[in-house]
Amino acid sequence: MQAVIFDQPGNPDVLKLSSIPIPLPRRNEVLIKVEAAGINRPDIVQRQGNYPPPKNANPHLGLEIAGEIVSSPSNSHFSIGDKVCALTNGGGYAQYCSVPYVQCLPWPKQYNAIKAAALPETFFTVWTNLFAIGNLKPNDSLLIHGGSGGIGTTAIQLAKAFGATIYTTVGTEEKGSFCKKLGATDFINYKKDNFYEKIKSLTNKQGVNLILDIMGASYFSDNIKSLSEEGRLVIISFQGGIKAENVNLGLIAMKRVTVTGSTLRPRDTKFKGKIARALHKHVWPLLDTGIIEPQVFKIFPFEQVRKAHQLMESNKHIGKIVLDLSQFSD
């Protein structure tokens, strides 16, 4: 089969198509003929050499796919021919990918492969961090950093559907307007305004109940100041660094805030299966009825994976970037 590989870390030019063996499914895995694969920020970081795959994970790129099951174990609730999307353990940029069947979900009603492939990584991540960890409740106020990306557009829609008031940071007015159309109450252009000062004004100095953060160190101090009493800060990425300085730790104690974080990829199959079941119960009905949907910005043919990575690194996209493998012959 054809798959995307790279021999050494570097810029998008290191990516190339190569012929490698079709994976042999392990016990409790299905084999999926991939029709589309989502591009995600961890793919970029892994390609750059800064995000090594966990032990026993597929070392190749690609964390989410959609396609057709061509092999299934007897204990799976899926059958050959079923159309599924899946959170993979790597290897999604390929014509075939093996995945634990508990990490698979059926395509929502009326979905094609492109839309289905744009779901798993962001929806698993957002559900885990906003609901399972962040304990988002109706009427909570929420600040989402990077609202126009795949994680952000998903988080805005889910939080809105569950009754939250949403603020988000963005880099352009165009992205901010898009976020408001998705359900954000207001946005902060971080290139023009300090988000802490804006949140203080928008919340009448009360702060927000929950922050979903992708920046890490560079935003840590202002995040703590932006939280309400007993607020929660959930850190899921470190685009602004991992070591914060000049942090007033006293605020954490005085406000009784909770600071936590998570990474999804190293979690075990049992945990990911639990999230898949929660999504199927609570979120898939919203997708089936069109109340929420993934925001697909651009689709690239499989052979143009370099261009897809270049677009993600440019930060000029809004929502998801997807690779189309449907016309790629064996």
Q: What pLDDT, on a 0 to 100 scale, did the predictor assign at position 246?
A: 81
Q: What is the percent of the chain with per-residue pLDDT over 70, rounded to a whole number?
A: 99
SS3 (DSSP) at 285: helix
Helix (H) / strand (E) containing 144: strand 141-145
Q: What pLDDT, on a 0 to 100 scale, did the predictor assign at position 330?
A: 56
**d(C-alpha 3, C-alpha 16), whole Å:** 8
2's tokens: 């054809």
**d(C-alpha 294, C-alpha 202), whole Å:** 28
Q: Are 195 and 143 in contact (CB under 8 A)?
A: yes
Write the single-letter amino acid at 309: H
Residue 244 has pLDDT above 90, yes or no: no
SS3 (DSSP) at 296: strand
- In the DSSP assignment, the letter for residue 107 is P
Q: What pLDDT, on a 0 to 100 scale, did the predictor assign at position 147?
A: 95
206's tokens: 């009360």
233's tokens: 């800060």
37's tokens: 């694969």
**d(C-alpha 8, C-alpha 274), whole Å:** 35
Report the top-level CATH class of 123-261: alpha beta
Residue 194 has pLDDT above 80, yes or no: yes
Please state, as a whole number, how many other Cβ atoms lie within 10 Å of the Cβ of residue 117: 33
Q: Are 182 and 295 in contact (CB under 8 A)?
A: yes
- In the DSSP assignment, the letter for residue 121 is H
Q: Are 246 and 219 in contact (CB under 8 A)?
A: no
DSSP string, 166-207: EEEEESSHHHHHHHHHHT-SEEEETTTS-HHHHHHHHTTT--
**d(C-alpha 88, C-alpha 57), whole Å:** 9
SS3 (DSSP) at 134: coil
**d(C-alpha 108, C-alpha 287), whole Å:** 6
**d(C-alpha 200, C-alpha 16), whole Å:** 48
pLDDT for 118-135, tens place per residue?
Answer: 999 999 999 999 999 999
Residue span(s) of the chain under CATH 3.90.180.10 come to 2-119+265-324
Q: Which CATH superfamily is domain 2-119+265-324 in?
A: Medium-chain alcohol dehydrogenases, catalytic domain (3.90.180.10)
Residue span(s) of the chain under CATH 3.40.50.720 come to 123-261
Q: What pLDDT, on a 0 to 100 scale, did the predictor assign at position 290?
A: 96
pLDDT for 251-262, tens place per residue?
Answer: 999 999 999 999
Output the pTM of the full model.
Answer: 0.94
**d(C-alpha 151, C-alpha 140), whole Å:** 19
Per the prediction, the chain carries an average pLDDT of 96
pLDDT for 266-317, tens place per residue?
Answer: 999 999 999 999 999 999 999 999 999 999 999 999 999 999 999 999 999 9
Q: What pLDDT, on a 0 to 100 scale, did the predictor assign at position 188?
A: 97
- In the DSSP assignment, the letter for residue 256 is T
Q: What is the percent of the chain with per-residue pLDDT over 90, rounded to a whole number?
A: 91
Exposed, middle or buried: residue 229 (CB in 10 Å: 0-12, 13-18, 19+)? Answer: exposed
